[in-house]
C-alpha cells in the first residue's frame, strides 16, 4: 500500500526476545517506523538465540523473523552521552516499548514518569512476566515457565499424559498482540485528548486471559476441568470433539450430533449412545469412534463427513499444507534478503487492508546499522560507537 495507517508514527523499541519485539513487528507492518534501541555489545539477546543452529547472517534466523522491517540504534544506557541521545529520540517519538524486569528502566532513568517529563504525549507500553508488584514480580518471565504456572499445561494432551506445553511461545505471542491493542487504543485516545498513556501487560495476565473460558467454568463450579482420556480436544466439550487416527493418518472432528455421526459413518456401536451422553460417557464414545475410524483411510471418512456438512478436516503437517491450493492462494509467504545476501522466506502480516495484502521485504537490521542516519536526521551531535 502507498500509505499504511501508522505511517509517520515513531516507535522506540527497548524490547528483546519475543513478546515486545513481536508487537513492534506488527506496528512496523502497519506502517510505523520502529527503531530498536540495542546494547552496543551483542544487541538484542535474540540475535544469538538460534533454533536448530539456523543463522541468516551474523544474527539468528529467529531474530530475523521477529525484527524485519525495523531500524537499529545501538546505545549504552549506562553511558551519560548515549543516554542523552536516547532522550533526544524520545522527544521525537510517539511510542516507547520495553519488556525488562521491574526496576530496570527506573535504574537508567527511563521509567514512564521520567519519559513523560521528556514527552508528555508519549505512549509508554511495558511487558513484565508477572506484573510489577506481588511476590513473583522478579521471577524470570519466560514463556514455558508461565505456561506451567498458569495451568495452561493441564489443558493440552490426554488425561493420563504429563502436563504438556504448547509447541510454541504462545504467551509471548499473545502478550505482544495485546500490547499492540493497548497502544492503538491509547493512540486513539491521544488523538481525542492530547494525552499520553502508560500501557502495562504481563505474560501471566495474558495467559490467564487466554484461558478465560476454562477459568470462568472453574470459578463457577470450583472443579478442575477434566481432559478426555483419549483424543482430548477441549476439556469443556463432549464427544466426539478431538483428533482421531485413521488407517493412513489422522482427522479432526468438531461438534456434531452423535447419532447423526453414527449413521453417516455406519457405526452401530456408536448409535447405542444418546446425545445427552456425549460428556458423561465422553471417553467411552471416543474409544468406540477411534476403533471404527482405524478401519479406513482418512479420505474415505472425509468424503462421507463432508458430504453431510460435518465439521471435519484432515490433520496436515507443513509439508502437506504448503502443497495445498487453499494455502497457496493466501500468499502468506514473503522473501527478505539478509545483510550477507541470504534469502529468507518468512510469513507476511496476516492483515489485509482494502483488499491489499501487507508485504515488506525489509530485513532485520544489523546491530547499530542506523545510528549514523538517525543522528543526522534528528540533528544529534554524536554517533555512539558500535562494539561487537
pLDDT in tens, 9-46: 999 999 999 999 999 999 999 999 999 999 999 999 88
In this model, does residue 386 exceed pLDDT 90? no
Contact call for residues 253 and 309 (beta carbons, < 8 A): no
Domain edges within the chain: 10-210+355-377
Query: C-alpha distances in angstroms, 250 versus 237, 243, 247?
Result: 20, 7, 8
Task: Please give the grid coordinates belonging to residue 132.
Answer: 510489577
pTM to 2 decimal places: 0.92
Task: Please give the grid coordinates belonging to residue 112.
Answer: 514512564
d(CA 138, CA 97): 19
Question: In what side-by-side order are the strands of the sheet with 242-245?
Answer: 242-245, 250-253, 312-314
Looking at the domain 10-210+355-377, which fold is it? Rossmann fold (3.40.50)
Helix (H) or strand (E) holding 114: helix 112-118
Beta strand 95-98 with 123-128 is parallel
d(CA 107, CA 154): 38
With residues binned 3-state (H G I as helix, E B as strand, rest as coil), the percentages for the chain, rounded to 5, are 40, 15, 45
Q: Which residues are catalytic?
A: 172
Q: What residues contact residue 198 under an 8 Å CB cut-off, 6+ apart?
A: 112, 124, 125, 126
In this model, does residue 51 exceed pLDDT 80? no
Better-predicted residue by pLDDT, 341 or 374: 374
* 225 burial type by CB count under 10 A (0-12 exposed, 13-18 middle, 19+ buried): middle
Q: What residues contact residue 212 under an 8 Å CB cut-off, 6+ apart?
A: none
Least confident of 110-114, 173-177, 374-378: 374-378
Nearest to 380 by CA among 85, 93, 81: 85
Q: What residues contact residue 317 under an 8 Å CB cut-off, 6+ apart?
A: none
The string of pLDDT tens digits covering residues 301-312 is 999 999 999 999
Amino acid at each position: 500500500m502507498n500509505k499504511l495507517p501508522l505511517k509517520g508514527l515513531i516507535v522506540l523499541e527497548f524490547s528483546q526476545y519475543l513478546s515486545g519485539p513481536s508487537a513492534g513487528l506488527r506496528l512496523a507492518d502497519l506502517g510505523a517506523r520502529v527503531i530498536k534501541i540495542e546494547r552496543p555489545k551483542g544487541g538484542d539477546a535474540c540475535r544469538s538465540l538460534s533454533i536448530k543452529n539456523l543463522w541468516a547472517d551474523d544474527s539468528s534466523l529467529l531474530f530475523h523473523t521477529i525484527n524485519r522491517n525495523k531500524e537499529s540504534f545501538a546505545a549504552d544506557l549506562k553511558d551519560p552521552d548515549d543516554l542523552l541521545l536516547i532522550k533526544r529520540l524520545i522527544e521525537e517519538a510517539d511510542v516507547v516499548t520495553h519488556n525488562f524486569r521491574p526496576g530496570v528502566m527506573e535504574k537508567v532513568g527511563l521509567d514512564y514518569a521520567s519519559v513523560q517529563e521528556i514527552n508528555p504525549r508519549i505512549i509508554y507500553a511495558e511487558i513484565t512476566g508477572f506484573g510489577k508488584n506481588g511476590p513473583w514480580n522478579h521471577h524470570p518471565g519466560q514463556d514455558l515457565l508461565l505456561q506451567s504456572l498458569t495451568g495452561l499445561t493441564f489443558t493440552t494432551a490426554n488425561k493420563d499424559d504429563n502436563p504438556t506445553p504448547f509447541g510454541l511461545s504462545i504467551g509471548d505471542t499473545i502478550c505482544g498482540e495485546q500490547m499492540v491493542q493497548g497502544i492503538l487504543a491509547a493512540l486513539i485516545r491521544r488523538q481525542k485528548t492530547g494525552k499520553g498513556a502508560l500501557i502495562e501487560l504481563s505474560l501471566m495476565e495474558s495467559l490467564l486471559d487466554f484461558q478465560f473460558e476454562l477459568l470462568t467454568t472453574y470459578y463457577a463450579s470450583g472443579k478442575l476441568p477434566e481432559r478426555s482420556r483419549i483424543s482430548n480436544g477441549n476439556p469443556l466439550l463432549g464427544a466426539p470433539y478431538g483428533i482421531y487416527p485413521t488407517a493412513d493418518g489422522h482427522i479432526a472432528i468438531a461438534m456434531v450430533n452423535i447419532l447423526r455421526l453414527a449413521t453417516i459413518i455406519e457405526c452401530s456401536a456408536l448409535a447405542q449412545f444418546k446425545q445427552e451422553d456425549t460428556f458423561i460417557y465422553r471417553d467411552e464414545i471416543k474409544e468406540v469412534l477411534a476403533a471404527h475410524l482405524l478401519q479406513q483411510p482418512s479420505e474415505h471418512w472425509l468424503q462421507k463427513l463432508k458430504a453431510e456438512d460435518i465439521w471435519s478436516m484432515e490433520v496436515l503437517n507443513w509439508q502437506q499444507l504448503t502443497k495445498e491450493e487453499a494455502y497457496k492462494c493466501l500468499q502468506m509467504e514473503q522473501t527478505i534478503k539478509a545483510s550477507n545476501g541470504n534469502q529468507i522466506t518468512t510469513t507476511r502480516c496476516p492483515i489485509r487492508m482494502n483488499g491489499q495484502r501487507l508485504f515488506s521485504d525489509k530485513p532485520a537490521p544489523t546491530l547499530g546499522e542506523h545510528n549514523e542516519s538517525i543522528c543526522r536526521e534528528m540533528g544529534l551531535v554524536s554517533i555512539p560507537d558500535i562494539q561487537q
